[in-house]
Amino acid sequence: MAKHAPPETRRAQILDAAMACFAERGYHETSIDEIAARAGLSKGAIYHHFAGKRDILIGLFEVWSAQLIRRWETISRESDPLEALLLDAEATFASVEDLLPLSRGAVELLSHAARDDQMRGRVADLYTASRNHISALLSDAQRRGLIGEIEPDSVATALMAMFEGLFVMKAMDPEGVDIAAVWKSGVSAVLAGLVATRKKGVTS
Amino acid sequence: MAKHAPPETRRAQILDAAMACFAERGYHETSIDEIAARAGLSKGAIYHHFAGKRDILIGLFEVWSAQLIRRWETISRESDPLEALLLDAEATFASVEDLLPLSRGAVELLSHAARDDQMRGRVADLYTASRNHISALLSDAQRRGLIGEIEPDSVATALMAMFEGLFVMKAMDPEGVDIAAVWKSGVSAVLAGLVATRKKGVTS
């Protein structure tokens, strides 16, 4: 092992190891010892980079958030706004598949966040960034006449809520929730509804 | 105080007192002593009916679930299926307003449930009951030609996810989420989309 790897490399290495452990054994069953062994590092090295397991979970959340926002920005540059919405949904859905092993851990993170203003602030910041992005796409689609009179912020929040809710429901009821089927039906229903608002405006 | 009130009356009295305390001070800040004082009962009387604060929270969840399902059944008997869906959404939304003081507590309940098979089973049972109810309305609407080719179970789960997600997002970001605006926009967009599937089928 390179002893003098840059801190960012080391952090990424620990996060990868933690993700693998969480996926295999679940967040609550995984110890810092196991993460250290998987990363090929000492327990002390883990604590040099992270305050503890909760801090590692926050780190995974931040990496995931940053990737999601980067992917959205790339998609927006390359597609018209309704296509971008659909591609965003697909990208987000794909990232959920990656996160499923963490879903119970993520509900735990939300629960911590509900009582911890700093953590709640991070989650709220991601919500704000997501809402601004989706809302801008919807406003753009309205300007181009692709969809009719809807309130962009509210519809953006509704789309986000569908995602957040699916993730929570999957954690509670893994057998009852087929994320792929639901996400596609839900998103296509909402997009069909948005397009219908335009058609209604044109024909009535 | 009636010393010999039936157990169900006593439980309801404790749940009402707990709800009032949680609403004022939050779930985590409320003690069993405060609930006892509010209910006009001894601490021992509380522990006679509930194992602790977590058990009281589960009790509130069960009362809320049962009320919700009863309301849905009444609505279904009185309305056509698309009207019933909209009225269900309104009834559910109204119940969220009641529950908002508990939203952080509810995220906590989900977090406990993620690690507790018995609690997770109760949440999953409510999901199943909700999905069956909404899915039956959607199938009925399809039979009557009100909506087109959608997969009832998936769309039902998508609607439920929107509700669940809104509730979680409200707990994380109280200022950023206007539940009334979002729920109406989201539900009307989905319903417009469902109706649009029929129109598309007719015209193409």
Q: Closest to B172 (Cβ–Cβ): which among A127, A155, A167? A: A127
Q: Would you tell me the crossing angle of helices A53-78 and A32-39 to the nearest 10 degrees?
A: 60
Q: Which CATH superfamily is domain A53-203 in?
A: Tetracycline Repressor, domain 2 (1.10.357.10)
Q: Closest to A162 (Cβ–Cβ): which among B161, B185, B199? A: B161
A134 touches B144 (CB < 8 A): no
- Which CATH number is A1-50 given? 1.10.10.60
State the fold for domain B52-203. Tetracycline Repressor; domain 2 (1.10.357)
* Binary contact (A124, B183; C-beta < 8 A): no
Q: DSSP assignment, residue A100?
A: G
Looking at per-residue pLDDT, the higher value among B93 and A85 belongs to: A85
pLDDT reported for residue A15: 94
CA distance B88 to B23: 25
Of all residues in chain A, the one with the smallest CA distance to B109 is: A111
CA distance A67 to B120: 31
* Binary contact (B168, A163; C-beta < 8 A): no
pLDDT tens readout for residues B94-151: 777 667 666 666 776 777 677 777 778 888 888 999 999 999 999 999 999 888 888 8
How far is the alpha carbon of B107 from chain A, nearest alpha carbon, in Å?
5
pLDDT at position B204 over 70: no
What ipTM did this prediction achieve? 0.80
pLDDT at position B203 over 50: no
Helix (H, G, I), strand (E, B) or coil at A178: coil
- What average pLDDT score do residues A56-81 get? 84
Q: Closest to A192 (Cβ–Cβ): which among B110, B158, B193? A: B193
pLDDT reported for residue A31: 94
- What average pLDDT score do residues A76-84 get? 83
Mean pLDDT of chain A: 83
Of all residues in chain B, the one with the smallest CA distance to A158 is: B186
Question: With contacts defined as CB-CB under 8 Å, which chain A residues touch B189?
Answer: 150, 155, 158, 190, 193-194, 197
pLDDT reported for residue A38: 96
* Binary contact (B127, A196; C-beta < 8 A): no
- Substitution target in A162, A166, A170, A177 with the highest count of B β-carbons within 10 Å is A162
Looking at chain A, the domain(s) classified CATH 1.10.357.10 span: 53-203
How far is the alpha carbon of B30 from chain A, nearest alpha carbon, in Å?
13
B126 touches B109 (CB < 8 A): no
pLDDT tens readout for residues B84-104: 888 888 877 777 766 766 666
| Least reliable range by pLDDT among A97-106, B122-131, B142-151, B185-194 | A97-106
Q: DSSP assignment, residue A123?
A: H
Q: Closest to A128 (Cβ–Cβ): which among B176, B182, B192? A: B176
A45 touches A125 (CB < 8 A): no
Cα–Cα nearest to A39, from A60, A55, A20:
A20
Of all residues in chain B, the one with the smallest CA distance to A199 is: B196
Looking at chain B, the domain(s) classified CATH 1.10.357.10 span: 52-203
Residue B38: pLDDT band by 50, 70, 90 thresholds?
A: very high
A131 touches A157 (CB < 8 A): yes
Structure tokens at A61: 């959340």
* Binary contact (B171, A110; C-beta < 8 A): yes
Looking at chain B, the domain(s) classified CATH 1.10.10.60 span: 1-50
- Substitution target in A109, A185, A200 with the highest count of B β-carbons within 10 Å is A185
